[in-house]
Amino acid sequence: MQAANDGKAGGEPGSSMGARISTHPFDDDGLREECGVFGAWGCADASAIVALGLHALQHRGQEAAGIVSFDGSEFHAHRAMGHVAGNFDRPEIIAKLSGDAAIGHNRYSTTGETALRNVQPLFADLASGGFAVAHNGNLSNAMTLRRELTRRGSIFQSTSDTEVIIHLVATSEYRTLLDRFIDACKQLEGAWSLACLTPEGLIATRDPLGVRPLVLGRLGQGWIVASETVALDVVGASFVRAIAPGELLVINASGLTSLTPFAPRAPRPCIFEQVYFSRPDSFDGQLSVYEVRKRIGAELAAESPVAADMVVPVPDSGTPAAIGYAQASGIPFELGIIRSHYVGRTFIQPGDSIRHLGVKLKHNANRGLIEGKRLVLIDDSVVRGTTSVKIVQMLREAGAREVHLRVASPPTRHSCYYGVDTPERSKLLAAQLDEEPMRQFIGADSLAFLSIDGLYRALGEPGRNRAAPTHCDACFTGDYPTRLTDRDGAEPAPQLQLVPGGRA
Ligand code: AMP
């Protein structure tokens, strides 16, 4: 089902990594993906455009990247471990990915098996023809669906939750590919922003809660879909609009068709996209992510002021909030930490020891500036606490007199099941410790987090609407907007809908 590293889609499964092949579903990285998706339809050199788009979305996943193209009769695929630039900068690879339609995917995975067979877009030859899918988000019932599909004879080739989508489409009793796809999506629970490539067109859809972002753009006569607006900017496409939660777009030679096949729900986009995950030069609707982060900093300054000589961001993720804090407090903003641009995001490196090492490689204290000074240190979030401990220690060793840590989000107390890799609760510092023991653990002179209401105020709301929150903030509140069938295990296996004929 999943294509080989190079060449025509649908080849033998292959791995240049010599990875261990596991048969246990989701035993490692399958349930923890934070990804970027990008698709182009009706564009000359579609795969080159997709490669550029993926490059702009590299922050969403750095471990593997893939592109599948369609030339009108055949699909072509290239998937590889590593960054987009290292894999798609060779003209011969782009040349092989021919056609004016393509989709691509950036993937992050954690420890254990990082096999090529999990690298997206996944591809299958279905009765209706080729079907490639790129998925951002995470399904909270994938294991349950997989068990049921396996019981009925489906043979899985990867450990990625995304593969259940392919099997649901393949086994649906509906007639047309579109109906089969809709039937499949109706059985998914959790977060799914999908870009799919089929002979019938590019299909893009977002789960009814709109947990992960997905936007629509125009490039000449062609269409683009992307996880974030920054990817439209980078390829020179114009922003058309966000794809609405629960909307399904079909883009083909007949143009663009918008369907709303899923039961509507009040949207709950992920609030952590605003805090950390999205690039600051992206827009979420009318809101610039950069502006939101500055407002977060201003809220933090109002909630947790402190006498200090300078505001210092943990670069780059803390920078916009630190600017907001500095402007609101009147304390000068300074680059007290210098970041090497040749090391990836600390967090996006598997393994605790490497993660520790990564912090040292990535940041260095600007000793001449901070010696003898009282610092307000701003980071966007504290997850395991690894970064904060190292950075505070580094600033003290470089002579800082006081280090006051201000965190531009509430304490992360709960795991995410929707595609942000916040680890199991036992590894979340704020799930284990209250604020004062956390301060001691981190070694800061004072510690304060933004309140959940402050976070919503930064988004332009009066506070968190407890009865009807506008975002998914489960990592901070534990208020999960969907059932967590796999986690809770108590739900009966869903009855796969096998209704032949038209659309349900
Ligand atoms: P930690 O060191 O485990 O406390 O992680 C916090 C640091 O990782 C912060 O500096 C964030 O910028 C970054 N971070 C937080 N959440 C994530 C995530 N889901 N993926 C990647 N990086 C993250």
Whether 278 lines ligand 1, by a CB cut-off of 6 Å, is no
Whether 347 lines ligand 1, by a CB cut-off of 6 Å, is yes
Q: Which numbered atom of ligand 1 lies nearest the CA of 359?
A: 2
pLDDT band at 20 (very low <50, low <70, confident <90, very high): very low
Lowest mean pLDDT among 111-125, 270-284, 372-386: 111-125
* Interval between CA 36 and ligand 1 midpoint (Å): 17
- The tokens of 414 are what? 């709960």
pLDDT tens string 240-265: 999 999 999 999 999 999 999 999 99
Contacts of 229 (CB under 8 A, 6+ apart): 215, 217, 239, 282, 283
Q: Which of 35, 43, 185, 475 is catalytic?
A: 35
Q: Which numbered atom of ligand 1 lies nearest the CA of 355?
A: 2
* Interval between CA 173 and ligand 1 midpoint (Å): 43
Q: What is the CATH number of domain 49-268+498-502?
A: 3.60.20.10
> Does the pLDDT value for residue 377 go beyond 50?
yes
> Averaged over 56-81, what is the pLDDT?
96
Burial class (CB in 10 A: 0-12, 13-18, 19+), 71: middle
- Whether 35 is catalytic is yes
Q: Which of 109, 378, 381, 382 to probe ligand 1 with, by most ligand atoms within 8 A of CB?
A: 381
> Averaged over 195-209, what is the pLDDT?
98
CA separation for the pair 408, 256 (Å, rounded):
40
CA separation for the pair 420, 442 (Å, rounded):
23
Whether 273 lines ligand 1, by a CB cut-off of 6 Å, is no
Q: Helix, strand, or coil here: 38?
A: strand
CA separation for the pair 227, 53 (Å, rounded):
9
What is the value of pTM for the model shown?
A: 0.90
Whether 140 lines ligand 1, by a CB cut-off of 6 Å, is no
CA separation for the pair 119, 398 (Å, rounded):
42
Identify the H or E element spanning 223.
strand 222-226
pLDDT band at 285 (very low <50, low <70, confident <90, very high): confident
Lowest mean pLDDT among 68-72, 111-115, 457-461: 111-115
Q: Which of 383, 407, 472 to probe ligand 1 with, by most ligand atoms within 8 A of CB?
A: 383
Tell me the percentage of the chain whose pLDDT exceeds 70.
86
Q: What is the DSSP string of 89-134?
A: --HHHHHHS-SSEEEEEEE---SS---GGGPSSEEEEETTEEEEEE
> Do 202 and 195 form a contact (C-beta atoms < 8 A)?
yes
> Do 208 and 265 form a contact (C-beta atoms < 8 A)?
yes
> Averaged over 375-399, what is the pLDDT?
97
> Averaged over 84-88, what is the pLDDT?
93
Whether 345 lines ligand 1, by a CB cut-off of 6 Å, is yes
The residue contributing the CA closest to ligand 1 atom 13 is 347
Q: Which numbered atom of ligand 1 lies nearest the CA of 386?
A: 2
Instruction: Return the number of other C-beta atoms located less than 10 Å from residue 494's C-beta.
Output: 15
* Interval between CA 496 and ligand 1 midpoint (Å): 38
> Averaged over 266-273, what is the pLDDT?
98
* Interval between CA 291 and ligand 1 midpoint (Å): 20
CA separation for the pair 137, 115 (Å, rounded):
19
What pLDDT does 8 receive?
57
Q: CATH 3.40.50.2020 residue ranges in the chain?
A: 283-477
Q: What is the CATH number of domain 283-477?
A: 3.40.50.2020
Contacts of 131 (CB under 8 A, 6+ apart): 123, 124, 125, 166, 169, 177, 196, 197, 198
Instruction: Return the number of other C-beta atoms located less than 10 Å from residue 467's C-beta.
Output: 5
CA separation for the pair 54, 59 (Å, rounded):
9
> Averaged over 369-396, what is the pLDDT?
97
* Interval between CA 50 and ligand 1 midpoint (Å): 27
pLDDT tens string 160-186: 999 999 999 999 999 999 999 999 999
> Averaged over 66-90, what is the pLDDT?
95
pLDDT tens string 418-445: 988 777 899 999 999 999 999 999 999 9
pLDDT band at 10 (very low <50, low <70, confident <90, very high): very low
* Interval between CA 347 and ligand 1 midpoint (Å): 5
CA separation for the pair 302, 325 (Å, rounded):
8
> Does the pLDDT value for residue 11 go beyond 60?
no
> Do 207 and 192 form a contact (C-beta atoms < 8 A)?
yes
CA separation for the pair 448, 187 (Å, rounded):
41
- Using the CB atoms, write b or e for 117-139: b if 16+ within 10 Å: bbbbbbbbebebebbbbbbbbbb
Whether 276 lines ligand 1, by a CB cut-off of 6 Å, is yes
Whether 383 lines ligand 1, by a CB cut-off of 6 Å, is yes
pLDDT tens string 295-314: 999 999 999 999 999 999 99
What pLDDT does 361 receive?
74
Whether 62 lines ligand 1, by a CB cut-off of 6 Å, is no
> Averaged over 320-341, what is the pLDDT?
96
pLDDT tens string 91-149: 999 999 999 999 999 997 643 356 788 899 999 999 989 999 999 999 999 999 999 99
> Do 437 and 428 form a contact (C-beta atoms < 8 A)?
no
Lowest mean pLDDT among 183-197, 337-351, 446-460: 337-351
Whether 428 lines ligand 1, by a CB cut-off of 6 Å, is no
Q: Strand pairing partners for 365?
A: 337
**The amino acid at 43:** C
Backbone dihedral region for residue 125 (phi beyond 0: left; psi -120 to 50: alpha; all else: beta): beta
Q: Strand pairing partners for 243?
A: none
* Interval between CA 381 and ligand 1 midpoint (Å): 6
Average pLDDT of the chain, as a whole number: 89
Q: Which of 296, 356, 387 to probe ligand 1 with, by most ligand atoms within 8 A of CB?
A: 387
> Does the pLDDT value for residue 233 go beyond 90?
yes
Whether 385 lines ligand 1, by a CB cut-off of 6 Å, is yes
Residue 382: phi, psi to the nearest 5? -120, 120
Q: Which of 314, 316, 319, 346 to probe ligand 1 with, by most ligand atoms within 8 A of CB?
A: 346
> Does the pLDDT value for residue 278 go beyond 80?
yes
Strands 374-379 and 402-407: parallel
Q: CATH 3.60.20.10 residue ranges in the chain?
A: 49-268+498-502
